[in-house]
Amino acid sequence: MVAWHFSPETGCPFWLDYAAHLGWDPRREIQTYADLDKLGFFQDEWLRGGPVRRWVPKGFAGRPVSVFETGGSTGVPKSRINIEDFRIDYEQFSRTLPDDAFPKGADWLQVGPTGPRRLRLAVEHLAQHRGGICFMVDLDPRWVIKLIKWGEMQMAERYKQHVIDQALILLKAHPNIKCLFITPKLLEALCEKVSLKKLGITGVFCGGTEMTPQFCRFAVEELLEGVYFAPTYGNTLMGLATHKPLSAEDNYAIIYYPPSPRAMIEVVDPDEPTRVVGYGETGRARLTTLTRETFIPRFLERDECEREAPVDLYPWDGVRNVRPFRRFSSTVVEGVY
């Protein structure tokens, strides 16, 4: 993989230029996964702004390229080019979905962010890969963020209802929709209106934002009435992690395994991010993406989590209870009460 990205025939302009300034040849010096440390940490600023074509590997010249963006809550969003990766990621993920909950040939409804996000094409591809057709209801999260910043909570609520109303119309009009992709908050809102089970939904693939163990328990025990629940963690840079099935034994902890070897998540000491913490210990998530389309070594995510031991199904490290990374800061409160 390193040879591909740093070869003048196949690598992208960004990495070829980067290597030119190193004074050493990564193809020779990087022989193991651990050697990737020599490249230092990938900076997320590199992904903000153009030219986006500097990320297209020469080995894929002439192929149709898509660009996917992250949330973009502040400033210029990060972007990642995609050619086939999202299809490969979601086809791999498809193998982890049980056929009785996500029947082959059943249609899907996606209720969540579309627009410039990977989910737009990825969920549709997942549906098509499983022989289904995907209906879409769009949600613009950047507009929601603005409404919240302005304190327009009522308008945010009305926008959410607008999204839910559209989903309800589709669910009632198309009885072959049996599978749902939806974000956690929209799932709650939808289940306030209808019983998904009664509408014939058999599987819910939930993601897009952070989920807590308590949310998962609430979804399983109170929202879904036995409908299969697949919480997932994914992002534009990594791809899609698969979850270990939820259980009360794990206290509904959300345990994810990255799509290794295409991407690795390691849990590292925030003060010494080259050091991986022990199993069960808390640390900052560090991502390494290694596909022919994308090379992102040692990227420090804005998430924290616990390091999880391998299991039979996924014999590599996982992560538990991913949540936003925050160092606590106190604020002075004047006149409490």
Q: Under the criterion CB under 8 A, does residue 279 sit at the interface with another protein?
A: no
Q: Is 178 buried (19+), middle (13-18) or exposed (0-12) by CB count in 10 A?
A: buried
Q: How far is the CB of 254 from another protein (least distance, A)?
A: 10
Q: Under the criterion CB under 8 A, does residue 324 sit at the interface with another protein?
A: no
Q: Under the criterion CB under 8 A, does residue 27 sit at the interface with another protein?
A: no
Distance (Å, rounded) from C-alpha 209 to C-alpha 211? 6
Partner residues linked to 272 by β-bridges: 269
Nearer to another protein, 157 or 281 (CB): 157
Q: Under the criterion CB under 8 A, does residue 323 sit at the interface with another protein?
A: no
Q: Under the criterion CB under 8 A, does residue 326 sit at the interface with another protein?
A: no
Contacts to another protein from residues 202-231, by CB under 8 A: 212-215, 217-218, 222-223
Q: How far is the CB of 259 from another protein (least distance, A)?
A: 27
Q: How far is the CB of 163 from another protein (least distance, A)?
A: 16
Q: Under the criterion CB under 8 A, does residue 337 sit at the interface with another protein?
A: yes
Q: Under the criterion CB under 8 A, does residue 159 sit at the interface with another protein?
A: no
Q: Cis omega (within 30 of 0) on the bond before 13?
A: no
Nearer to another protein, 14 or 215 (CB): 215
Partner residues linked to 167 by β-bridges: none
**Contact in structure between 28 and 35 (CB atoms under 8 Å):** no
Q: How far is the CB of 157 from another protein (least distance, A)?
A: 8
Quick one: how far is CA 258 from the chain centroid? 10
**Contact in structure between 225 and 197 (CB atoms under 8 Å):** yes
Distance (Å, rounded) from C-alpha 284 to C-alpha 278? 12
- As a 3-state breakdown, the chain gives helix, strand, coil percent values, each rounded to 5, of 35, 25, 40
Site string for another protein, 245-264 (x = CB under 8 A): ------xx------------
Nearer to another protein, 6 or 233 (CB): 233
Q: How far is the CB of 164 from another protein (least distance, A)?
A: 13
Site string for another protein, 280-309 (x = CB under 8 A): ------------------------------
Q: CA–CA distance from 104 to each of 25, 56, 128, 132, 161 (Å)? A: 48, 34, 9, 7, 30
Distance (Å, rounded) from C-alpha 159 to C-alpha 163? 6
Site residues (CB under 8 A) for another protein?
Answer: 151, 153, 157, 184-185, 188, 191-192, 212-215, 217-218, 222-223, 251-252, 330, 332-337
